[in-house]
Amino acid sequence: MKQKLSLFFVLVSFLAFAQVEEKKLDELIQNTLKTFDVPGMSVGIIKDGKIIYSKGFGVRSLTSKQPMDDTTLVGIASNSKAFTCTALAILSDEGKLNWDDKVSKYIPEFQMNDAYVSQNVTIKDLVTHRAGLGLGQGDLMFFPEGGNLTVNDIVHNVRYLKPENPFRTTLDYNNIMFIVAGEVITRISGLSWAEFVEQKIMKPVGMNSSFGSYNRAKAVANKIDAHAPVDGKAIAVPHDWNETGNAAGGIMSNIKDMTTWAEFLLNGFITKEGKKLVSDKQIQQLWNLQIASPVAMKNPYDTGFYGYGLGWFLSDVKGHKQIQHTGGLIGTVTQFTLIPDMKLGIVVLTNQQSGAAFNTITNTVKDSYLGIADRNWLKTYGDRMSKANAEYERQKKDAFAKSDAFKKEKNLQPKQEQFVGKYNDVWFGDVEIAQQGNTYRISCQNSPRLKGELLPYSSNSFIIKWDDRSYDADAYITFTYNENGKAESAKMKAISDITDFSFDFDDLDLKRK
């Protein structure tokens, strides 16, 4: 009887402790929403095969004010890349491809800028960010949303992207190569990427509320609106993800399904019905380091290695192997973390683009399981973002102040006949600069939502102030004139470091038509 009473008190104490920890996490999430102006967030934790936390907080939309819960659909963005690589692993298990197959075997017309790379680039190269393309290079072909280019257009235009690094030497995160990898899946299977992922992965895993693309989820009421800060305050912004980018970031899912996904992965890629979707040989490929990246000597988790596997970032945290990825679209960011030997999974989905918010939650939960005392990540990231945002605002303020001062120098401003006209970049398409009344406007043929006003900045340059203020991507455009004072070409770059790398202005080489 005495032993039974002891066990009873142990159980009661454990439940009381769990309730205290759950309450602390609830409070942290609420405070995180306030600190980083995030309208809604959902969080899931799986440990030892059990879902121990699955909740939503805040609202899924500032427009509707409807609450966010653990069934609210969110664009998981680049967390979709793991599904692309899992799909390729399934096809490899079926004997339909090898990771080291040349891409040209499945897409004969595929070429890169270098003839040697074109002949030798493999499927594995596509999904390890080592093909030579730079960070976000080419993303303007599908980002921001609403562009006109098809997957076939993107596959063709890759040949015009001049690699920033030698082949297979550097990890530079790139979405375009994943879009090509998605096309490999389509060529082999006869299914669209979204159809393959839904039928061959989501359905058997039990992700019954998820979709392979935003368009396939349009009929679902319980999904987020995207939100982005404009003039220091989060507002609802359009969310209509291009179908062309699905293999790089198209999935819509929720906490319930993403913790089911985590459970499947932690269980050796075995479904709840006991079916093993991916062989151990393939798992070893997916979760082994394929290309490494430097690690800071001093870091909060004593990390000694960091790099990319196949669809996953890999590192060590306090001696444990960590499998992780994040995802970001305009107006939403997500984070997915696994520590397999601890049988731990942490998922954070948000409807605002603050990475500091998901890092606050993930790191706090992770620390609690690693036995690390509370490090107050909320304050750390809050202070860090306050400092960073102040610097971003200074950069923007200085640029616009210089523009305002230059507007007074009427005699130095370029004349419209010098620069007005159409320009072309071989992979992005036509860009038009036109006079409208007393202002100049820029518009992009293949990215209709990318349009704005040109503000004089110097004798050969302007600031582009985009109409959609949620982009936070205002840019300089600088013209090169010929001997007759007429613009022959133009280059662009963002005015502030806050601009997302997918606004790949630096790689544009605009030639006047």
What is the rounded distance in angstroms from the CA atom of residue 86 to the CA atom of residue 261? Answer: 12
Same domain, 362 and 429: no
Q: Specify if 73 maps to a domain.
A: yes
Same domain, 465 and 352: no
Q: What's the confidence (pLDDT) of residue 8? A: 41
The whole domain housing 342 covers: 35-375
Residue reference for tokens 């409208």: 436
Which residue numbers in the chain have pLDDT < 70? Answer: 1-20, 240
- Whether 404 and 315 map to the same domain: the answer is no
Sign of the CA dihedral with 127 first, then 112, 152, and 91 last: negative
- Residue 163 confidence (pLDDT): 94
359/395 same-domain check? no
Rounded CA-CA distance 507/513 in Å is 18
Residues 312 and 442 occupy one common structural domain: no
Give the pLDDT of residue 18. 56
| 178 and 315 both lie in a single domain | yes
| 107/150 same-domain check | yes
Residues 196 and 292 placed together within one structural domain of the fold: yes
Residue 486: which CATH number?
2.40.128.50
Whether the CA torsion 223, 229, 231, 233 is positive or negative: it is positive
Q: How many domains in the chain? A: 2
- Specify whether 361 is located in the same domain as 394: no
pLDDT score recorded for residue 240: 64
Q: Are both 435 and 368 inside the same structural domain?
A: no
In a domain, 198, yes or no: yes
Instruction: Please state, as a whole number, how many other Cβ atoms lie within 10 Å of the Cβ of residue 59.
Output: 20
* Alpha-carbon span 258 to 262, nearest angstrom: 6
Q: 206 CB contacts (<8 Å, ≥6 apart)? A: 257, 260, 264, 271, 272
Look at residue 11 and tell me if it is in a domain.
no
Strands (E), 341-460: 344-350, 421-425, 429-436, 439-444, 451-458
Residue 91: the pLDDT is 98
pLDDT in tens, 381-428: 999 999 999 999 999 999 999 999 999 887 788 888 999 999 999 999
Going by C-beta distance under 8 Å and a sequence separation of 6 or more, which residues neighbour residue 425? 431, 508, 509, 510, 511
Final residue in a domain of this structure, among 375, 410, 425:
375
- The answer as to whether 6 is a domain residue is no
Neighbours of 207 (CB within 10 A): 23
- Whether 257 is covered by a domain: the verdict is yes
Q: Where are the alpha helices (DSSP H) in 191-230?
A: 193-197, 203-205
- The amino acid sitting at 121 is V
Question: What pLDDT was estimated at residue 241?
Answer: 74
pLDDT at 14: 41
- DSSP class of residue 489 equals E
The answer to whether residue 27 sits within a structural domain is: no
3-state per-residue secondary structure call for 321-360: EEEEEEEEECCEEEEEEEEHHHCEEEEEEECCCCHHHHHH
455 and 336 belong to one structural domain = no
Residue at 15 is within a domain: no
Per the DSSP assignment, residues forming a β-bridge with 346 are 45, 337
Give the helix, strand, coil percentages of the chain, each rounded to 5. Answer: 40, 25, 35
Q: Are strands 291-292 and 252-253 parallel, antiparallel or unpaired?
A: unpaired
- Round to whole Å and give the CA distance between 302 and 199: 40
Q: Which of 343, 375, 407 is the last residue of a domain?
A: 375
pLDDT for the residue 409: 86
Q: Does residue 177 lie within any of the structural domains?
A: yes
Domain boundary among 326, 352, 375: 375
* 54 and 147 share one domain: yes
- Give me the CATH number covering residue 301: 3.40.710.10
Q: Look at residue 145 in the predicted model and tell me its pLDDT.
A: 86
- Give me 420's structure tokens: 């007005």
